[in-house]
Amino acid sequence: MDMQRIPAQKGKYNLQDYDKMRETFSWEDAKKHFSWNETGKVNIAYEAVDRHAQNPKLKDKVALYYSSPDREEQLTFEQISKKSNQFANVLKKHDVQKGDRVFLFLPRSPEFYISFFGIIKTGAIAGPLFEAFMEQAVRDRLQDSEAKVLITTPDLLERVPQKDLPELKKIILIENHNETADKYIDYKEEMESASSDFDIEWVDLEDGMLIHYTSGSTGKPKGVYHVHNIMIQQYITAEWVLDLKDDDVYWCTADPGWVTGTSYGIFGPWLKGVSNVVRGGRFSPEAWYDTIEKYNVSVWYTAPTALRKLVSAGEDVVKRFDLSSLRHVMSVGEPLNPEVITWGLEALNHRIHDTWWMTETGAHIIVNFPSQEIRPGSMGKPIPGIEASIVDNEGNELPPNQMGNLAIKEGWPAMMRKIWNNPGKFESYFVNGWYLSGDSAYRDEDGYFWFQGRLDDVINTSGERVGPFEVESKLLEHPAVAEAGVIGKPHPERGEIIKAFISLNEGYEDASELLEDIRQFVKTGLSAHAAPRELEVTDAIPKTRSGKIMRRLLKSRELGLPTGDTSTLEK
Ligand code: WT7
């Protein structure tokens, strides 16, 4: 494997000497950056917002540059602090207590960021929902978390099946509406009369703060539970990996419905007191380049799926914009193609730094640092303080260049603390002291990690994680569908697309209108990103004798690969 290597960059990076830092760093050192180190009292909202609002040098600094096609707004640290105080008072008035789940089902907007911190200030647990979720996806998450309060818009409220959500006591509507029942709270009205002083709830580092639902290969989405302690690793990685400096303008393109959008779209930059750009509205190459130019974005964190679209948009589009403010670019969520890195060098004049982590890890684990050589196709090296390895299924470490399960030694600060409402599940991720990621990878002799694929059936489409079970379950609800098996099929731009194999109930014919109806059924019932782009009718879905769908077999057949061991196939 004689890949082109991109030399280490020269410059004053926050992490200059990786090897030395690996030797000397301990997580205890990281704690000195926080005020709770002296007081013993913590709240991540204080560290990310209020602390800066109380600092004469930072209080008037723009924390949030918000822009969408129809709205533009800037909020300083002091403004976010006060407004989130007001919102915390609104929540208190409606009986929100420490540990309650308060969910946000909102488009990317300033209100999201204000209410998010309001929730955390009360000691409650925030649960962001991706705005593209449809009824089934919303129901699963609100039911499982037993959310007590939901913050949403009148439009999105239509997708909230309230009759199935007995625990949901209050709904806060951030836009004009016609609801009159006691259950509904008008955001604007209550914010106006709420005080901007609030006694923040001081909590323990191990107290809960955030739940992100994510998909596995089986069962309903799982609530990954994170605690205030996550901030230690978010802070350190914002320093080393995002390489943030006081004057930076930072833009993370991820939606706060996913973990990248909270850990690095909110906490990373704000724990460091750095200005954060949030863009609402749809993707277009012009709008994205324009965002960089308009705000003088210096540090940019995005995803391969978007980068691939920028590549196909062509170099003349890039050339129309002044991107000279950029100094550091990163990517996450899917394998970063070496061709995209090459494009970055030519079109952006920047190295694109791949980073690897997961909802469950809470923060960066394996990354490319600006001060190190990049080996295109490799995710880089574990951050100091983290031990990562390649292990077999029993948790034994494997030698270099051997493929196995990408694993992390348990006990890193940002690690999830449990799976919500699913006792025992958490332990199942760990073997012999190692957290098994479910990704297959190998490590070369120099310690660089190389991603190979998923070991389970989880699908990664345009950087979004989709569980085949969820899609299959939705398909089965359609009257025409008898059986369904769902796989990820490789796709040049989206990484993978969702392909569903279905068999039809008697009386239904394989016709394009029916297939389109089934596709729409998933799209409008579950979510657009989970709707199969390809649907194929087949007589029988291969299953094991115990009735499990053999997705691997469907996939090998689809890709024309050897089908392997089919001895458990139901005859
Ligand atoms: C899965 C986690 C928190 C990151 C955003 C996605 C895949 C993530 C990379 C990468 C190849 C990657 C893995 C991982 N993934 N980063 N740099 N190269 N694959 O978080 O939704 O929890 O998904 O995304 O398969 O297990 P997520």
DSSP letters spanning 472-507: HHHHHHSTTEEEEEEEEEEETTTEEEEEEEEEEPTT
Given phi > 0 = left and psi -120 to 50 = alpha, else beta, which region is 164? alpha
Of the pLDDT bands very low, low, confident and very high (cuts 50, 70, 90), residue 500 is very high
Instruction: Name which of 130, 122, 176 is nearest 149 in CA terms.
Output: 122
291-306 tens-digit pLDDT? 999 999 999 999 999 9
CA distance 23 to 19: 6
Ligand 1 mean position to 335 CA, how many Å? 8
Q: Judge if the beta carbon of residue 115 lies within 6 A of ligand 1.
A: no
* Phi and psi torsions of 514, nearest 5°: -65, -45
CB of 553 closer than 8 Å to CB of 498: no
pLDDT at 1 over 50: no
pLDDT at 571 over 70: no
CA distance 377 to 359: 22
Percent of the chain with pLDDT over 70: 98
Q: Judge if the beta carbon of residue 356 lies within 6 A of ligand 1.
A: yes
- Ligand 1 site-directed mutation target among 224, 262, 356, most atoms within 8 Å of CB: 356
Residue spans of beta strands (DSSP E) within 410-533: 418-419, 430-431, 434-443, 449-454, 459-461, 464-466, 481-491, 495-504
- Ligand 1 site-directed mutation target among 439, 450, 458, 496, most atoms within 8 Å of CB: 439
Ligand 1 mean position to 215 CA, how many Å? 12
Q: Judge if the beta carbon of residue 460 lies within 6 A of ligand 1.
A: yes
Q: What is the pLDDT of residue 3?
A: 58
Q: What is the mean pLDDT of residues 548-562?
A: 91
562 burial via Cβ count (<10 Å: 0-12, 13-18, 19+):
exposed
Percent of the chain with pLDDT over 90: 92
**For the CA of 224, the nearest atom of ligand 1:** 22
* Phi and psi torsions of 280, nearest 5°: -95, 175
Tokens of 42: 């913590």
390-416 tens-digit pLDDT? 999 999 999 999 999 999 999 999 999
Q: Judge if the beta carbon of residue 126 lies within 6 A of ligand 1.
A: no
Q: What is the pLDDT of residue 54?
A: 98
Q: What is the mean pLDDT of residues 42-63?
A: 98
Q: Judge if the beta carbon of residue 465 lies within 6 A of ligand 1.
A: yes
Of the pLDDT bands very low, low, confident and very high (cuts 50, 70, 90), residue 568 is low
489-499 tens-digit pLDDT? 999 999 999 99
Ligand 1 mean position to 439 CA, how many Å? 9
**For the CA of 355, the nearest atom of ligand 1:** 17
Ligand 1 mean position to 99 CA, how many Å? 28
Q: What is the mean pLDDT of residues 279-289?
A: 96
Q: Judge if the beta carbon of residue 47 lies within 6 A of ligand 1.
A: no
pLDDT at 40 over 90: no
Q: What is the mean pLDDT of residues 364-386?
A: 97
- The H or E element that residue 301 is part of is strand 299-302
Residue nearest to atom 19 of ligand 1 (CA): 334
Residue nearest to atom 17 of ligand 1 (CA): 356
pLDDT at 195 over 60: yes
Of the pLDDT bands very low, low, confident and very high (cuts 50, 70, 90), residue 2 is very low
Mean model confidence pLDDT for the chain: 95
Ligand 1 mean position to 19 CA, how many Å? 25
Q: What is the pLDDT of residue 540?
A: 86
